[in-house]
Structure 1
Amino acid sequence: MSPPETKSPPVGYVHPGDGIQHVNYLGSDDHVHELWWNGAWHDTDLCTMTDAPTGAFDVPSGYVHLDGTQHVNYLGTDEHVHELWWNGAWHHNDLSVAAGAPAGVQATRVGRGYAHPGDRTQHVPYLGSDNHVHELWWDDGWHHNDLTAAAGALANVSGRVYGYVHPGDGTQHVNYRDASRHVHELWWDGDWHHNDLTAAAHAPANASGTAYGYVHPGEGTQHVNYFGTDDHVHELRWSGNWQHNDLTAAAHALNGNSFTDGPSGYAHPGDGTQHVLYIGSDFHVHELWWDGNWHHNDLSVAAGAHSLAFRTVFGYVHPGDGTQHVNYLDSSLHVQELWWNGPWHFNDLTLAAS
């Protein structure tokens, strides 16, 4: 049976223990699906497998915990945060109920979850109907925390929230944009704090869409990418203090597409390069990549892709073989992949898993 059409941008990750790749998406049946690879591509309906409730129009995404379990978080039609988790078999958990999250505050957008390697905790940030940033976190049981209140920040979130861990110092960071087009972070070093990154970096107040962050582990730097109102890809970079960089200008690249959510990035640990992905004004997938200087690459052209990209592009590195994988939703509502093992290649994962 063929996988259904896709309603959300696909988001992928690798399980380091077995080298299997997993790409999650919300199907036209409102079920959370995964396309998974163990030498060939397969499709699994995780909602049917676990008898889990259907998902709302959001982006399901997954991560791997240090104990080898997998966790895929999504927004349910009941406005709760749910997870589908694997320990050899797939299970369902209503995290809002498990954590005792406030019943009067609905989840409106669920950010990508992550594991904290230093203390083995898990964290799932989300935006509440009170316009606060919340998290559900686990340390052998699920708990709720209002991060906006804990950090003394204003309730001024606009759009999606996105979190990550800095493995070098164990800090946690949750990024978001406000209505005045500033990029903010709530960050943790034992306590939660607030920082206006736009002000700290003396950057223009021109952020649109979502601010996506990542860490370059080789250098210990942090990078938060977003689209500006000028349709350029901008970066706020931390190497002891926050600085601003216009990556589109630095790489002499094509403008981004204002109808898409924002640029996302990752570091390649094998060669120390950085990669920032976005959909261009030509609806191609583009990357800005760094090896000491910023360069531009049209990945759709490089891979010979024949479909246009929509929504948001996400990428990841397979640590076992050093390959790179970039997933996106195309105009036929298929999940597509551009993957690199020296040159770039194109693969229609929806067809491959049929």
Structure 2
Amino acid sequence: MLVEALLWILMGKLCITLSGAGVEHFRTKIDEVISLCRTMRRKAQSFTFFLALLISLGVTVFETTDPAKAEPECKNGGVYVLFARGSGETFNGPRALSFQHYIMQAIANAGIENQWAELGNLDNKPGPDNKANNPGEYPAVAWTNWGILTGWEGYYASVRTGVAELARHLNDRAAKCPKESIVIGGYSQGAEVVGTALFNVSSYTLSRIAYVALYGDPRTSACNAIMRPPWSRGNAFCALGSLGARAPYIPMQLTGRVGSWCDAWDGVCTGFAPLTPPNPLSSHTRAYQDRWIADSANEIANKALSKRNELNPSSQSAPLPSYTITPPDTSADSPAAPPPPPVVNSVKRTAAPNGTREVYAATKSSVTEAWWSPGGDGAHESEIIHISQDNIVGFDKVNEPNGITQSLYTAVPDGVWETWWRPNEGVHHNKIITGLSGVRQVIADPVTDSVGYTHRLYVLASDGPYEVWWRDGGDGIHANRLDVVNGPVTMDKSRGSDGTDQLYVATPTYVYELWWRPGTGVHHGTVINITQGNIRSLDKGDNLSDGGQLLYTGTSTTAWQTYWNSTTGVGLTNGIIATGQTNAIQIKKTVYNGVHELYLATPDHVQEYWWNGPNNGTSTLINISQNNITGFDKSSDGADQQIYTASGDLVYETWWRAGVGPTSSVLFKVAR
């Protein structure tokens, strides 16, 4: 009886497998299965006969329940985001972190939960080298193990392992999480794995896939010289992958739900051999995390949320972000697409050592300065630095203590450039920090203490914040990571009333405080948790006279205030200053003449909220009908207050004073 019971269990397993994987894959074996079912009792004594046949059909008979194989929890009603990395990459590599940051942020902006995983690390238990740890997990072998001289056997073995793992996982996932919208991304070797695996899953599984995003696919099939395929993305005009085009490129059922991004300077996906790595002109290792993944985020989020709404008709529909598709380059003299109009991404208002007023504006390719003197002949502009790779992610500016030198620090994905100048000596550039990954922000915070003046930078990278310091005439530049914070989005630096250094670092869901004093270690704690996962900006308020401290956290909808007082023992208390916003992008907190002021920007306006004891109010300072505000800064000069607002390639100045309402005008326009 035990043997017969086991056989019935195995038959059930067979039926489940056939249902999940598609009966069409087993048609040549169906007669054998039917014959076996009819004679099962007669064959019950020959358990090994039945077991052998099941194995010959490719059916997994017994599976372990090792908890190490646990996979990410279902997000029914939400979105599951899965990524397959490229050759030789570890988990949480630059492409994976960029995909996780931009796509999950775009989904979270709609208030929808999402779940993240990487192929080869579905159990979230990587090996000691942060790569696949177990047989059957996608290894993403490096090019040194491709076996180029032996028919690429290493590469294709890696791809086959990834295809098998992904197909199995997707079929299981779709069955276990029927109301979950699935997004899949793949880069380079990972793109081939994903594209191939799509032909190895069931029709039911394909119906749960919202979007497939491929970047730098060596099997690309998109030659726009003939007709632009619906999946063609990026600026490459004709892309026929370096390993040969996959045909058909995608399952017909996924038409309209696949995008394949290929950069014009990437020989891996265009098939143009001279532009493949290690040629430094090849964009394969930089174009996607620096440009195309961010470019793809809204399209992917739109499809992911649309599928989520379709699978959950009884739930409130999530709003769908709008998106545009970059057209391919059609020029005859260059493989690169014409540059888009410049967009100012961040602004900062400062003053020169002599009191000249300055506003700095950064696009992806340059930082431009506008300067003027009160009562002078208007604003003058000059470009301070140009980065030809178009990958500026942030900047900061300080005046040095000698009273004549000014320094600009420009962040790019792998480090920081220093630019300094003084009267009659021109502008000097030097890349002082290299070797980082996924840099998002830089803050300059020099300090003068008993040993003299110390240059200090705080650099936010994909794996957390770094402190970088040096002294003029010293022993060079020193750098150390202050803490491990994966997937950070922004930070702010301040000092406590007792001189304690404080650094606040935000991920989409948490804000952490790091604090330290000279000669002591770094302490850390959690300030606030935003379960919606949509934190976008931070501003540390001034220290209060009673020892209290304030931190302001901006999400896409709300501005939060957190108060605490270590002196009096008052713990963390959270309150809401503003809510009900749509796609809020930045906040900034100031105090002017004893009045607390919070400024909040959305794409179409900047709003002021003020309070002083029981009195409070709010007003709109500037409206931009083009709906393209990307950032702002706040300043004051005596009786006048100003905000400087970035909108497309323009920077607006808005000023007001007591009794005089806000007046706005264009201060300057950036050239590139």
Superposed displacement of residue 124, structure 1? 1.5
Counterpart check, 1:174 vs 2:503: yes
Q: What is the Cα deviation at residue 233 of structure 1?
A: 0.3
CA distance in 2, matches of 1:9, 1:195: 28
User: For residue 664 of structure 2, what is the aligned residue in structure 1?
Assistant: 346
Partner of 2:636: 317
Query: Which residue of structure 2 lines up, in the alignment, with residue 283 of structure 1?
Result: 604
Structure 2: how far apart are the matches of 1:114 and 1:189? 15
Question: Which is richer in strand?
Answer: 1
| 1:23 CA displacement | 1.4
**1:213 deviation in Å?**
2.0
Pair 1:23–1:221, CA change in 2 (3 A): farther
Query: Residue 85 and residue 238 in structure 1: after superposition, are their counterparts in 2 closer, same or farther (change >3 A)?
Result: farther
Q: Which fold has the larger relative contact order, with Cα–Cα distance below 8 Å and residues 6 or more apart in sequence?
A: 1
Q: Could you say which residue in structure 1 is the equivalent of 2:594?
A: 272
Residue 258 of structure 1, aligned match among 579, 583, 589? 583
Whether contact under 8 Å (1:213, 1:223) holds in the other structure is yes
Unaligned runs of 5+ in 2: 1-340
Q: 1:71 to 1:340 in 2, by over 3 A?
A: farther
Identical aligned residues as a percent: 18
CA 351–211 in structure 1, closer or farther in 2 if over 3 Å, else same: closer
1:44 maps onto 2:382 in alignment: yes
The CA distance in 2 between the partners of 1:74 and 1:278, in whole Å, is 25
Within the alignment, does 1:236 sit opposite 2:562 as a pair?
A: yes
* Contact 2:604–2:624 (8 Å) recurs in 1: no
Cα distance in 1, alignment partners of residues 492 and 523 from structure 2? 14
Structure 1 segments unaligned to the other structure (5+ residues): none
The number of residues matched between the two structures is: 314
Kept in 2, the 8 Å contact 1:182–1:197? The answer is yes
1:46-195 → structure 2 map (5 Å cutoff): 46-47=384-385, 56-68=391-403, 69-76=405-412, 79-88=414-423, 89=425, 90-96=427-433, 103=435, 105-106=436-437, 108-118=439-449, 120-129=453-462, 131-140=463-472, 141=474, 143-148=477-482, 153-166=483-496, 168-179=497-508, 181-190=509-518, 191-195=520-524
- Structure 1: how far apart are the matches of 2:571 and 2:390? 37
TM-score calculated relative to the size of structure 1: 0.75
Match of 1:22 in 2: 358
| 1:298 pairs with 2:628 | no
Partner of 1:66: helix, strand, or coil?
coil
Q: What is residue 329 of structure 1 aligned with on the other side?
A: 646
Give the TM-score of the pair, scaled to structure 2.
Answer: 0.42
When residues 266 and 67 of structure 1 are mapped into structure 2, their CA distance, relative to the original with a 3 A threshold, is farther
RMSD: 3.2
Q: Structure 1: which amino acid aligns with 2:596?
A: Q
Instruction: Give the match for residue 542 of structure 2.
Output: 215
Is residue 410–residue 416 contact of structure 2 (8 Å, CA) maintained in 1? yes
Code of the residue aligned with 1:349 in structure 2: it is L
Distance (whole Å) between structure 2 residues aligned to residue 92 and residue 227 of structure 1: 34
Specify whether residues 25 and 348 from structure 1 end up closer, same or farther in structure 2 by C-alpha distance, changes over 3 A only: same
Given that 2:649 and 2:670 are in contact with CA atoms closer than 8 Å, whether structure 1 keeps it comes out as: no
User: Does residue 1:32 correspond to 2:367, yes or no?
Assistant: yes
Higher helix share: 2
Larger Cα Rg: Structure 1 or Structure 2?
A: 2
